[in-house]
Structure 1
Amino acid sequence: MNKIDALLDVLSKIYQILVLVYNSKYHGSLVFDEDPQMDRQEVKDYLGISESTYKRKVKEGVLKPQKLPGGDKYYKSQLLGEFKESRRRGRV
């Protein structure tokens, strides 16, 4: 792991801690207004995965969508770990 990846990892952990502290103190949920909600297609494009990979990850419980009448929805902050894995594999 090079220095930039290590720095990005530390910064993402700091961000997660700040989100937890801020939301537990003021809102009780883990979503900022700046945290965009993404639909199924946006998630596949963001992670660089196919429809079959998406379905497999949902079935395995790696991706946990919010089931809403308009379809599956995610918050971008929920996808951080999967985004790192996609970047590691060279998909994005």
Structure 2
Amino acid sequence: MNKIDALLDILSKIHHILVLVYNSKYHGNLVFEDDPQMGRQQVKDYLGISESTYKRKVKEGTLRPQKSPGGDRYYKSQLLNEYRESKRRGRV
């Protein structure tokens, strides 16, 4: 019975991921339940970029912050492509 429970758990997680991907493709941003929000400085540290690079990426639209009274906020999952690019360039 443990194998069946494990299989059902895996299938449930796959279904949850597919729903998230579908919603992100057709309805906006991909947001996970346990996806932490990051501030401006945390994003720069995470991506290994400077303030000027950060401002340029926001101006170009590569980074799209959610404006809040406390400053720009990002979900970590929104930064996946930029993280891959930073890794490719050897920043992180």
Per the normalisation by structure 1, the TM-score is 0.71
* Aligned residue number for residue 90 of structure 1: 90
**Segments ≥4 residues shifted beyond 2 Å:** none
- Number of residue pairs aligned between Structure 1 and Structure 2: 73
Q: Deviations for 1:32-72, whole angstroms, at most 9, x for unmatched residues?
A: 22111000000000000000000000000000000000000
In structure 1, list runs of 5 or more residues that go unmatched. 1-13
The equivalences for 1:76-87 within 5 A come to 76-87=76-87
What is the RMSD of the two structures over their aligned residues, measured on CA atoms? Answer: 2.2
Larger Rg: 2
In structure 2, list runs of 5 or more residues that go unmatched. 1-13
Per the normalisation by structure 2, the TM-score is 0.71
Distance 1:63 1:29 in 2: 13
* Aligned residue number for residue 51 of structure 1: 51
